[in-house]
Structures are given as structure tokens and as C-alpha cells.
């Protein structure tokens, strides 16, 4: 096993153990606020109310993001923005695992916060390349955008999915704008793979949450497949970014 893969594997194990311990102690609190999807809209997988892991398959599949994030992080020791990209992917995995295991409002907030981090990265990274921003300016923009989005999670949680959609559209739009104005030397096949993966994942997400295709007590869950396909989509996006040749 290569050093990068070994480091990513060990780091994933550490985060998994940390997440499970945190979940165990968190759910032993006398009271915590449940997610807004309770009681009947937390995707297809049946809720195990007697366990500190409420949805096993959806929780376990979330750690695919964690492994990929650490892989990206360790593969880019001298590229700070790609390390951020990797850590944001780890954040998605941690937040998703915490959410599906606890089905708490805190977990829901963690889950969305990770998605906001990555979607805002897509937006800002295009601006970084287009306008030759410094690393410091890029990080300040990322922090500012995510501060506003995270405030929205607290005061207007019902808007969370719409805001994700807005951020994804802005991210794709900024990347298209960059590509059409700067004409970078880049391998477009990777972004095509990413689009196919995320669109496939979204179709499965809809079938799962609407319970059109639903087997609540099966270990094979549509939402877990959504996690895995989304992880592939992030990997393809990463390969797309890495394929760009500096002018």
C-alpha cells in the first residue's frame, strides 16, 4: 500500500472511532433536538431507535467521503487549496455520518455545513483561477460565505436544500465562466464523469427520499448509494482540477 493510501486509511480509522465515541456520549445526554426530518422524512432506511447508530447503512457509507478527503489531503502536501478541498470532503463525511447516526438537529447542521464548504470551494476556486486571487483572499471568501450559510442553518433550516441547490448552480456557473473566458488546458472527460455520477446519485436520492424504491430494513440503501456515487463525483472533480496545465 502506498504511503498516501496508508495515511488516508489510518486517518479514516481515527475519524471513524472519534465519530462513534462522540455519537455515543452525545446520545447519552438527557435531551437533544431531533433533526427536522423526524419522524417520517429521514430517507428510506428504517430508524433503529434502540441503538446509538440510528441508520447503519447511511452512516457507514458516509465514511467513503472521509477516505477520499484524506487521500486528497495527503496527496497534495505542497498545495494548500487542494488540502482544503480534501478537508472539506472529510467534513462532508463526518457531518453525514453524525447526522444519520444521531438524526439530531446538530447532526443535520454538521451535514449541511460540510456540503456548504465543498460547494463554496467549487465557486471560489473558479474565481481564484480567473482573477488570480491570493491564497489568503481565497480563504477569507470561503470563510465569509460559509459564515452566512451556517447562520442560515440555525435560523432558517427549512431553506437548507434550496441553498445547496443555489451553491451548486453558482459553482457550476463559475466554472463554466472560467472555462469559456480563459480556455484552460484541462481534461474535460473528468468533469463529464463527475456530472454523470452526481446526476445518477440525485436520481437515486429522489427515489429514496420519496420511497418510490424503498426497502427500509435492507442493508442496501439508496441513500447509501447516493453517498458512494457522490464520493465518485468529488473524485472526478478533483481529477478534473488536477489535469489543468498551468499557463
C-alpha cell, 234? 468529488
Integer Cα distance of 121 and 183 in angstroms: 20
Integer Cα distance of 164 and 60 in angstroms: 23
The answer to whether 31 is a known ligand-binding residue is: no
C-alpha cell, 174? 463559475
**b/e for 109-148, b at 16 or more Cβ within 10 A?**
bbbbbbbbbbbbbbbbbbbbbbeebeeeebbebbeebbee
C-alpha cell, 54? 440510528
The answer to whether 132 is a known ligand-binding residue is: no
Report yes or no: 191 and 240 within 8 Å, Cβ to Cβ: yes
Q: Which residues are annotated as a binding site for Zn(2+)?
A: 100, 223, 227
Q: Which residues are annotated as a binding site?
A: 100, 223, 227
Amino acid at each position: 500500500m502506498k504511503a498516501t493510501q496508508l495515511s488516508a486509511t489510518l486517518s479514516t480509522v481515527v475519524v471513524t472511532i472519534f465519530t462513534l465515541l462522540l455519537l455515543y456520549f452525545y446520545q447519552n445526554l438527557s435531551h437533544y433536538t431531533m433533526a427536522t426530518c423526524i419522524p417520517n422524512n429521514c430517507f428510506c432506511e428504517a430508524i433503529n431507535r434502540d441503538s446509538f447508530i440510528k441508520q447503519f447503512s447511511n452512516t457507514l457509507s458516509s465514511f467513503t467521503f472521509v477516505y477520499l478527503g484524506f487521500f486528497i489531503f495527503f496527496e497534495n502536501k505542497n498545495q494548500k487549496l487542494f488540502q482544503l478541498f480534501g478537508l472539506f470532503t472529510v467534513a462532508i463525511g463526518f457531518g453525514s455520518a453524525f447526522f444519520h447516526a444521531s438524526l439530531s438537529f446538530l447532526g443535520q447542521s454538521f451535514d449541511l455545513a460540510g456540503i456548504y464548504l465543498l460547494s463554496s470551494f467549487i465557486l471560489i476556486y473558479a474565481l481564484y483561477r480567473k482573477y488570480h486571487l491570493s491564497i489568503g483572499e481565497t480563504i477569507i471568501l470561503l470563510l465569509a460565505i460559509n459564515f452566512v450559510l451556517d447562520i442560515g442553518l440555525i435560523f432558517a433550516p427549512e431553506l437548507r436544500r434550496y441553498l445547496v441547490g443555489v451553491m451548486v448552480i453558482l459553482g457550476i456557473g463559475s466554472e463554466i465562466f472560467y472555462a469559456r473566458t480563459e480556455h484552460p488546458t484541462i481534461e474535460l472527460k473528468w468533469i463529464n464523469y463527475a456530472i454523470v455520477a452526481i446526476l445518477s446519485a440525485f436520481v437515486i436520492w429522489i427515489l429514496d427520499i420519496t420511497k418510490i424504491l424503498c426497502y427500509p430494513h435492507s442493508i442496501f440503501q439508496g441513500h447509501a448509494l447516493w453517498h458512494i456515487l457522490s464520493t465518485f463525483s468529488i473524485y472526478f472533480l478533483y481529477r478534473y482540477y488536477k489535469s489543468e496545465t498551468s499557463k
